Amino acid sequence: MDQLARMGEWVVSAEPGAVLTCIGLGSCIGLALVDRRAAVAGLAHVMLPSSPRSGDAPQPGKYADLAVPALLAAVLEHGAARHRLEAVLVGGAQMFRLGAGSGADIGARNEAAVRAELQRERVAVAAAATGGDKGRTVKVHVAGDVLSREAAGDTMRLLGADLELVA
């Protein structure tokens, strides 16, 4: 059964056959961290680039700067090896022109923030389906298949369970 990563949350699984899902990503980023050999995967539904500077953030999964390290810690805890981890990014679309004057739109800023955190953690980005103006849904099979589907569009395979593909 699919495990849903709701907005601002993350899910992790090492159970064979488990599927992790983010539904209806607009400007949000679905960040998958996958260790295909160990068959461990995690998926976070990141909403905003950075956490507020003052006060404590009640929901670390909301913000890229907190969600990336938290998701990383969670997949390592489930048996993933840091050097085998691959990141896949889905979402970050700009569906509307809103919030003018703030420079780049929120979708692009979310993607940039997630990528910066991954670089800091030295996790490589294996694939991405980001930007554009369409919403997306992402499904992560713990064995390693990562599938993205655009609104009213086709399904795209971003990462395969087949390890030979990357050998």
- Count, residues in the chain: 167
Tokens of 153: 């569009």
Q: How far is the CB of 52 from another protein (least distance, A)?
A: 5
Q: How far is the CB of 65 from another protein (least distance, A)?
A: 13
Interface with another protein, residue 68, by CB under 8 A: no
Stretch that binds another protein, among 20-28, 113-121, 122-130, 154-162 (CB under 8 A): 20-28
Per the CB < 8 A criterion, the answer to whether 39 and 161 are in contact is: no
Q: Which residues contact 123 (CB under 8 A, 6 or more apart)?
A: 33, 72, 82, 85, 86, 87
Binding mask of the shown chain, residues 90 to 129, with x at each position contacting another protein by CB under 8 A: ---xxxxxxx-----xxx----------------------
Q: How far is the CB of 166 from another protein (least distance, A)?
A: 30
Which of 44, 40, 42, 45 minimizes the C-alpha distance to 25?
A: 45
Tokens of 93: 């679309």
Residues of this chain that bind another protein (CB under 8 A): 6-8, 23-28, 47-48, 52, 55, 58-59, 93-99, 105-107, 133-137, 151-152
